[in-house]
Structure 1
Amino acid sequence: MGTVKAVCTSEIKGIQKEEVPAIELRSDWGIEDDAHAGAWHRQVSLLSYEKIQEFNDRGANVANGAFGENIIVEGFDLKSLPLGTRFKSGDIVLELTQIGKECHAHCAIYHKMGDCIMPREGVFCKVIEGGRIAPGDSIDIVG
């Protein structure tokens, strides 16, 4: 079992996301008012809390949402999970559709640190069942 540590959104693609108190997810769409919502396979991004902490321990000092992640989850090595893995938190069901991503233009984090973890540690999901999710909520792998 894992724990949601933070949830973040932005209305514009290509910028850092802002931490918010809660997010509302819609089935087959993504997060309400988030730039990446839509009918595609990368509706929601997840990043491991532990990987962010390791990166910060190297001197990065990045805030939640800095990598463009929507949901920060503690308790899972996300990149090691197979495609098709489903996560459940309350009524919400997410399905893992992509692990990592190509970085087309190096972000400010990369320029500062010479590295960015999102392209290799971040995962992407589509929303199977929607609902509200907030920091402190539990999240489980259900298949």
Structure 2
Amino acid sequence: MTEANPVILAVSARRGHHFSKTPQLSIRLVEGEGVDGDGHRGVTVKHRSRARFNPTLPNLRQVHLVHSELFDELRAQGYELAAGDIGENVLTRGIDLLGLPMGTRLLLGREAVVEVTGLRNPCIQMDRFREGLMQATLARAEDGSLIRKAGVMSVVVSAGDVRPGDPIAIELPAEPHQPLKPV
């Protein structure tokens, strides 16, 4: 569900390769690269396992967005999470990130624009952070297909500063819409 006024609740970044990120007063998105000062910033893939496979692949995971409604769901299961805990750069409220089609553009604040590239695939690092968390971010649809709930990944289309409290505007791609897949 997307509300009338989706908003950014928190922004996070962290130098180096770490699972969790540190909440910030603001982050700067750099066109074609990601979050300034973040370990996953770059034109080519920065995710360690993917970089070992092929370090020349494009970085489709420059900015990680998570809907805070997931934190509400996980809290009901006994998982207390804070902004940045599961590696997200942008924590949102009031937008159905998982329901967006591939290629959706999100205006974050006044000038930064990201394009959604796909779903985050929950990994074993989640269980290393909190036992059972990976499974808690997965579900099964009625048809048996896997539902990944750990947020979406995106690339930076237009640079800009992003802060908690900034609005989010949604620009859907031309139809036919393609559902998100893991990246």
TM-score, normalization by structure 1: 0.90
Give the Cα–Cα distance (whole angstroms) in 1 for the partners of residues 137 and 163 of structure 2. 23
Contact 1:78 1:121 in 2 (8 A): no
Paired residue secondary structure (1:51): helix
Give the Cα–Cα distance (whole angstroms) in 1 for the partners of residues 6 and 17 of structure 2. 27
Higher relative contact order (CA 8 A, sep 6+): 1
The gaps in structure 1 that reach 5 residues or longer are: none
Paired residue secondary structure (1:115): helix
Given the alignment of the two structures, is residue 16 of structure 1 paired with residue 16 of structure 2, yes or no? no
Q: 1:30-109 counterparts in 2 under 5 A?
A: 30-39=34-43, 40-89=59-108, 90-109=110-129
Contact 1:8 1:19 in 2 (8 A): yes
Alignment RMSD? 1.9
Q: Is 110-119 or 50-59 further displaced after alignment?
A: 110-119
Given the alignment of the two structures, is residue 26 of structure 1 paired with residue 27 of structure 2, yes or no? no
The gaps in structure 2 that reach 5 residues or longer are: 44-58, 139-147, 173-183
Structure number, greater radius of gyration: 2
Paired residue secondary structure (2:135): coil
Aligned-residue sequence identity (percent) comes to 29
Which one-letter code corresponds to 2:157 in the other structure?
I
Higher percent of residues as strand: 1
For 1:103-124, what per-residue CA distance to the aligned partner results, in whole angstroms no more than 9, with x for missing partners?
1545334415563438533100
